[in-house]
Amino acid sequence: MSNRLRKIILKARSQVFSEKVGNNPSVFQGEGYDFIELREYIAGDDIKKIDWNITAKLQKPYVKVFREEREINVVLASMLNGSVYFGSKKLKQELIAEIVAIVSFSALRNGDLFSSYLFADKLYSYTRPAKKLFAVHKSVDDILEFDPIGKGSNFKTLTATIMSRIKRKSLLVLVGDFFEIPELKVLAKKHEVLCIIVRDKLEENPPKFGFASLVDVQTGQTLEGDFNTKTVKEYAAKVHEHDHNLYNALRKERIRFIKIYTDEDPYIKLRRLFGGRS
């Protein structure tokens, strides 16, 4: 086991299994239920459970009643295109590995099945559904040892792969820097989808550093120019616009999401994301 892998595994395991979170047996709360029946709405019921189609037909509010399943099927899909090989504090690639470790250990703690997929321009590796420590180690190690340089992102392949391989409704956690806006409508209809956006603050708000040559690690192309105040402001504005469109696209499909930066502790934000599931 490499030092990087050991450090990430030990930290994630300690955070997830710490006594400090003993009153919270799992970050996975909410979905993972089988539909049983419909009944009339009672004051105090969760309005999110209202079946609006039946309500409109019968002119009375009806809610869906569910029976909790024993386990959730947790599927992690990491998108490791070339741009994740960047970071001012640590590489985004390493942060993705930390996130996968935390979510995987959380699934183990809750007795849930989890599997992990690694994508870029195609599917590169995956672990089968399991409840074993070895599967966590392999998932994290695959991410740390992967070479993303020169590779683009292909969300169409990701969608097609998940749809063909995962038949049961699952909790699908997508992790990447999302510098392109994916079409997730099909996945969101079948699964509960959560997106974790991994970024470095420097790439969103770069400093002015004058004339320089930059290499795009995804395409290998070299960009030369004067990165002055005007240039970096225009760049930051484009990133802001992109993220605005990304957030709107995710909200349209009712996909919960969160952004985690390379200088932040991912565990705290992940608890917030999973704790808000409904």
Query: For the chain, which residues make up each domain, given as ranges?
Result: 33-68, 70-275
pLDDT in tens, 99-111: 999 999 999 988 8
* Whole-angstrom distance, CA of residue 35 vs CA of residue 42: 18
pLDDT number for residue 212: 66
Per-residue pLDDT at 34: 56
With a CB cutoff of 8 Å and minimum separation 6, the contacts of 252 are none
Statement: residue 83 has pLDDT above 90: yes
Report the pLDDT averaged over residues 274-278. 62
Per-residue model confidence as pLDDT tens digits over 132-183? 999 999 999 999 999 999 999 999 999 999 999 999 899 999 999 999 999 9
Per the DSSP assignment, residues forming a β-bridge with 73 are: 113
In 3D space, the residue among 93, 36, 48, 100 whose CA is nearest the CA of residue 74 turns out to be: 100
CA distances from 103 to 53, 77, 163, 265 (A): 35, 11, 21, 14
Task: Evaluate if residue 221 carries a pLDDT over 90.
Answer: no
Residue 22: pLDDT band with limits 50, 70, 90: very low
Handedness of CA 235, 240, 245, 246 (dihedral sign): positive
Instruction: Give the whole-angstrom CA distance, residue 186 versus residue 160.
Output: 9
Poorest-pLDDT segment among 62-66, 217-221, 252-256: 217-221
Sign of the Cα torsion 243, 177, 28, 266 reads: negative
Question: 166 in helix, strand or coil?
Answer: coil
What pLDDT score was predicted for residue 152? 94
Average pLDDT, rounded, for the chain: 87
What is the Cα–Cα distance from 187 to 199, expressed in whole angstroms?
23
Note if the pTM is more than 0.95.
Answer: no
* pLDDT on residue 208: 80
For domain 70-275, the question of CATH label 3.30.420.480 is answered with no
Mean pLDDT of 3-21: 84
The pair phi, psi for residue 132, each rounded to 5°, is -120, 145
* Per-residue pLDDT at 94 exceeds 90: yes
pLDDT at 21: 44
| 223: confidence class by pLDDT, cuts 50, 70, 90 | low
